[in-house]
Amino acid sequence: MSGMLELWRRFRRNRAALAGLAVLLVIVAAAAFGPILYAVNPQEMLGRPAMTPSAGFPLGTDVSGRDILAGLLHGARVSLLIGIAASLAATLGGLLIGAAAGYLGGWIDNLLMRTTDFFLTIPSFVLAVVIVAIFQPSVPVITAAIALVSWPSVARLARAEFLAQKHREYVEACRAMGMSTGEIMLRQILPNALPPVVVIGSLTVATAILTESGLSFLGLGDPNVVSWGYMIGVARTVLRSAWWMSAIPGVTILVTVLAINLVGEGLNETLNPRLRQR
């Protein structure tokens, strides 16, 4: 508990990160409770198309007469869910691959890193488009596609951390004591290698949200749900006459991604001892 308090004291010294965390908490709260407090079906046509903001429709309606505010709140759930789930999957997969490559070395390292390099040579967004286009677009497929294109960077970082730790004195002492390979990797090296992985994992959430928005904008989103990218894609045909339809979800994505990046930078400064000494 004292360690967590110390980390919080370090984190709150970064005012930008603290502001980003406050904004992110507001967005998460809106995603969790907004659809309950504003119980409007985002896919139901309730008014005339392209209505400007009014008392009945606080943010107006889209080209089909659907409530933009309802779409924004429900879209927050979808975008955050995909972003967090894809980031967790990519971080876990990249950590496992990078840890095995860095600690075991030899042909295992060569095989895993050549596979990682192969994925890095393919543009991530293009690969995600191909994967979603092959399978039927849905939230699980989109999440899996984003995770599949996001793990290589995590794997390379995890490999570097395990490679740097495996010859340290405390690891050699654990080997001399007869600890198994799995126990050394899990209980000894992982806690020391985890901080930078946590930071890149948090930043992957922002990348995942942007990727999902791009896929939905291209019409490769789940047709049964509303996301921020889908709202922008629907509004692109009336961008000149009804700019607010695409501007509102676009600004929301911008603010969310900026808040996540600020929190990620704050975590990096908190967990990285070299940055704390500056």
Pick 142 or 238 by higher pLDDT: 142
Q: Is residue 197 part of a domain?
A: yes
Question: Is 264 within 8 Å of 199 (Cβ atoms)?
Answer: yes
| Burial degree of 1 (CB within 10 A; 0-12, 13-18, 19+) | exposed
Q: What is the pTM of this model?
A: 0.87
Q: Is residue 39 part of a domain?
A: no
Total domains, the chain: 1
Of 208, 212, 169, nearest to 188 by C-alpha is 169
Give the residue numbers spanning the domain of 252: 17-34+64-272
Q: What is the CATH number of the domain that holds 68?
A: 1.10.3720.10
Q: Is residue 184 part of a domain?
A: yes
Q: Is residue 42 part of a domain?
A: no
Question: Is 160 within 8 Å of 125 (Cβ atoms)?
Answer: no
Give the confidence band of 278 by pLDDT, cuts at 50, 70, 90. very low
Q: Is residue 51 part of a domain?
A: no
Q: Is residue 52 part of a domain?
A: no
Query: Which run of H or E residues covers position 57?
Result: none
Q: Is residue 79 part of a domain?
A: yes
Query: Which run of H or E residues covers position 186?
Result: none
**For the CA atoms of the chain, what is the radius of gyration?**
22
Pick 94 or 170 by higher pLDDT: 94
Contact residues for 55 (Cβ-Cβ < 8 A; gap 6+): none
